[in-house]
Amino acid sequence: QEDDFKKVISHAKEYGYVFQSSEIYDGLSAVYDYAQNGAELKKNIREYWWKAMVQLNDNIVGLDSAIFMHPTVWKASGHVDAFNDPLIDNKDSKKRYRADVLVEDYTAKIEAKIDKEVAKAEKRFGDAFDKKQFLETNPRVVGYQEQINTILKRLGKSLENEDLVDVKNLIEELEIACPLSGSRNWTDVKQFNLMFGTKLGASADSAMDLYLRPETAQGIFVNFLNVQKSGRMKIPFGIAQVGKAFRNEIVARQFIFRQREFEQMEMQFFIRPGSQKEWYETWKEKRMAWHLSLGMGPENYRFHDHEKLAHYADAAADIEFKFPFGFKELEGIHSRTDFDLGSHEKYSGKKLQYFDPELNESYVPYVVETSIGLDRMFLAVFSNSLVEEELDNNTTRTVLKLPAVLAPMKAAVLPLVKKDGLPELAQEIIDDLKWDFNVVYDEKDAVGRRYRRQDANGTPFCITVDHQSLEDKTVTIRHRDTMEQQRVAISEVKAIIHKEVDM
Ligand code: ATP
């Protein structure tokens, strides 16, 4: 697993997807830059989300609010008081951990034991193996599962009650039961606020302390009435936004999974009080359907319903994805009640109510939110797509099987040789296609090597121009995943690509 993840990181670098920020200065930890291909993949994910959320829903509109916000916003939202991570230091290794993440690392160790049992049983029973039944009935597996649940329940309870002493005790007990850090010398657990501070204004005495926003959602809440009125929106309706968020994450690791500067794609859906259960279920389903539409395999997703709820929520679930380091949160769906709007009413002194013409009454709407990290989605797509394939002739190829709609380059146009007018015809084809898609030209090396290069880059189509092309205006089109080649008229190429890559 660790090796797979290393491959993902090095592939992302080698093929111009993701680089460490400020690399020539030895990098900045947990900050990353998206390069020529990465920027395209990220843009395509963003657009795929925007289209599904804003364009296809009559009652959802977009917003692009500022990163800087009035500092009182973060008091009202609870971030000043409650946006904390519990930290613990190991006195021997001098390493700092997020206490809750550390506990999850222990449970992941137990999960790995379950995986081992499953693999063993699978081998033993072959085709007759029923995984679901095995997970539910095998006493050892059931025992492990109970262990995990007990640990997480206790963690949730102690964090909720701010019983940081018990969190420390839990870590000490776990270290004895299944050693992980190799050291038992811990400090007490302390709370640490995750917001980045900055200053607005030049002179020291008039400068105002601000925060870089830790989530995009608050920009939506403070604009709720402006959008509702100017757009004459009727409840239920949603406001969607994509933008940067900043968190001073302490345990910054796992590549772009947890960064200090990242992008969120959030949607707040405003509803009648009392209808939140229904809308919460609807959005859970809709969001899962969006993920599955990319064809990355239903077995790689699962819901995780929260028992421990944040101060603003009355129900919450994560959509978890199977990353190379295990199932982890990719998206959150939260029923936020009227917490945010109600709180902004209190702090601002302005009414944030909606007059419901059908009920003939005014109220503070309830909110169901969907919130997904764009960078996490990038990692999900990228890591899931990278495969090492055994071919019939005993060789292997590295393929980045990105969903075609998301691939940075849709086609590569390759003249078989660098003479006889083939490059010129290839260029003509590019000039025609480039108004519709990103296409790339490549004439270097034997055509087989060029195919491999495009496979590794995730390009779904290779269009090869040969001598026959000059005579009958046809080319071969090679499909990345099947490696099948078809001879088609040049005039058909555009439609063939459109069919696969259009959102
Ligand atoms: P985690 O528990 O992993 O820290 P969270 O529960 O704090 O995440 P939310 O506040 O619900 O996350 O944020 C919504 C989404 O934003 C998450 O599902 C995730 O995809 C993304 N996200 C949150 N923090 C980061 C980060 N540091 N780097 C990249 N993406 C992030």
283 and 370 in contact (C-beta within 8 Å)? yes
In this prediction, residue 182 carries a pLDDT of 77
Using most ligand atoms within 8 A of CB, pick from 262, 284, 328 the residue to mutate for ligand 1.
Answer: 262
Burial class (CB in 10 A: 0-12, 13-18, 19+), 76: buried
Position 356 scores a pLDDT of: 97
pLDDT (average), residues 31-39? 97
Inter-residue contact 437 to 495 (CB < 8 Å) = no
C-alpha to C-alpha distance for 339 and 364, rounded to whole angstroms: 9
CB pairs under 8 A, 24+ apart, for 93-98? 93/181, 93/183, 95/181, 96/250, 96/251, 97/250, 97/251, 98/250, 98/251
> Which pLDDT belongs to residue 206?
75
% of the chain beyond a pLDDT of 70: 100
pLDDT in tens, 180-220: 877 889 999 999 999 999 988 877 777 888 999 999 999 99
Angle between helix axes 2-14 and 374-385 (nearest 10 degrees) is: 100
CATH code: domain of residue 364: 3.30.930.10
Pocket test for ligand 1, best of 192, 218, 250, 264 (most atoms within 8 A of CB): 264
Give the whole-angstrom CA distance, residue 385 versus residue 321: 13
Task: Band the pLDDT of 295: cuts 50, 70, 90.
Answer: very high
Q: How far apart are CA 38 and CA 82, in angstroms?
A: 34
Cα–Cα distances in angstroms (integers) from residue 409 to residues 139, 283, 380, 439, 454, in the given order: 50, 32, 19, 6, 9
- Summarize pLDDT for 467-494 with one digit per residue, the tens: 999 999 999 999 999 999 999 999 999 9
Query: Which residues contribute to the annotated binding site for ATP?
Result: 247-249, 257-262, 329-330, 373-376
pLDDT in tens, 374-385: 999 999 999 999
Give the least confident one: 60-74, 297-311, 362-376, 404-418: 297-311
From 224, 174, 185, select the one nearest 89 (Cα to Cα).
185
Quote the Cα angle for 250-201-77, to 5°.
Answer: 50
**The tokens of 166 are what?**
């018990």
Q: Model confidence over 242-268: pLDDT tens digits?
A: 999 999 987 767 899 999 999 999 999
Cα–ligand 1 centroid distance for 30 (angstroms): 14
| Separation of alpha carbons 427 and 413, rounded Å | 8
Q: What is the mean pLDDT of residues 422-445?
A: 97
176 and 112 in a common domain: yes
Number of CB atoms found within 10 A of residue 1's CB? 11
**What is the rounded CA–CA span in Å between residue 309 and residue 286?**
22
Which residues does a 6 A CB cutoff place in the pocket of ligand 1? 215, 247, 249, 258-259, 262, 264, 329-332, 371-373, 375-376
Q: Give the dihedral sign, CA 482/488/494/498.
A: negative
pLDDT category, 310, cuts 50, 70, 90?
Answer: confident
Checking if the pLDDT of 48 tops 80, the result is yes
Average pLDDT in the 94-100 region?
89
Cα diameter, the chain: 80
Question: Average pLDDT for residues 39-59, to the nearest whole number?
Answer: 98
Identify whether residues 204 and 249 lie together within a single domain: yes
Question: Are residue 228 and residue 254 in the same domain, yes or no?
Answer: yes
Identify the residue whose C-alpha is closest to ligand 1 atom 8: 329
Q: Answer with the one of 349, 380, 401 that is the final residue of a domain.
A: 401
- Residue 473 · residue 424 · CB < 8 Å: no
8 Å CB contact between 74 and 212: no
Has residue 78 been placed in a domain? Answer: no
Whole-angstrom Cα distance, residue 259 to residue 257? 6
In a domain, 485, yes or no: yes
| Residues of the chain above pLDDT 90, percent | 83
**Tens-place pLDDT, residues 120-134:** 999 999 888 999 899
Same domain, 335 and 433: no
- Are 333 and 462 found together in one domain? no
CA of 295 to the centre of ligand 1 (A): 23
Q: How many domains does the chain have?
A: 3
> Please, what is the average pLDDT of the chain?
94
Whole-number pLDDT of residue 162: 85
Ligand 1 pocket test, pick from 155, 193, 254, 258 with the greatest ligand atom count within 8 Å of Cβ, gives: 258
349 CA → ligand 1 middle, Å: 31
End-to-end CA separation in angstroms for the chain:
32
Q: Residues 331, 372: contact at Cβ < 8 Å?
A: yes
Helix (H) or strand (E) holding 491: helix 490-501
DSSP 8-state symbol, 232: T
How many A from CA of 329 to the centre of ligand 1? 8
Distance 169 CA to ligand 1 centre (A): 26
Residue 364 has phi, psi (to 5 degrees) of -85, 115
Output the pLDDT for position 183: 80
Nearest C-alpha to atom 31 of ligand 1 is from which residue?
373
Which run of H or of E encompasses 12?
A: helix 2-14
Q: Which two tokens stand for residue 9?
A: 């990181």
Verify that 204 and 284 share a domain, yes or no: yes
Residue 41 lies in a domain: yes
Residues 418 and 389 in one domain: no
- Does any domain span residue 368? yes
Concatenated DSSP letters of 74-120: HHHTTHHHH-EEEEEEBTTT--EEEHHHHHHHHHHHHHHHHHHHHHH
Residue 199 and residue 329 in one domain: yes
Which amino acid belongs to residue 390? E
pLDDT at 9 over 80: yes
Regarding whether 360 and 286 lie in a shared domain, the answer is: yes
Whose CA is closest to atom 13 on ligand 1?
371
ipTM value for the complex:
0.97
Residues 265, 288 share a domain: yes
| Residue ending a domain, choose from 162, 193, 224 | 193
Range of the domain at 481: 409-501
Tell me the whole-structure pTM to 2 decimals. Answer: 0.88
Residue 252 CA: nearest ligand 1 atom is 27
Query: Which residue's CA is the nearest one to ligand 1's atom 2?
Result: 329
More confident residue, 179 or 221: 221
Same domain (yes/no): 232, 362: yes
**Could you tell me if 200 and 186 lie in one domain?**
no
186 located within any domain: yes
Q: Which of 147, 165, 193 is the last residue of a domain?
A: 193
**Nearest CA to 77 among 272, 192, 221, 198?**
221
CB 486 within 8 A of CB 499: no
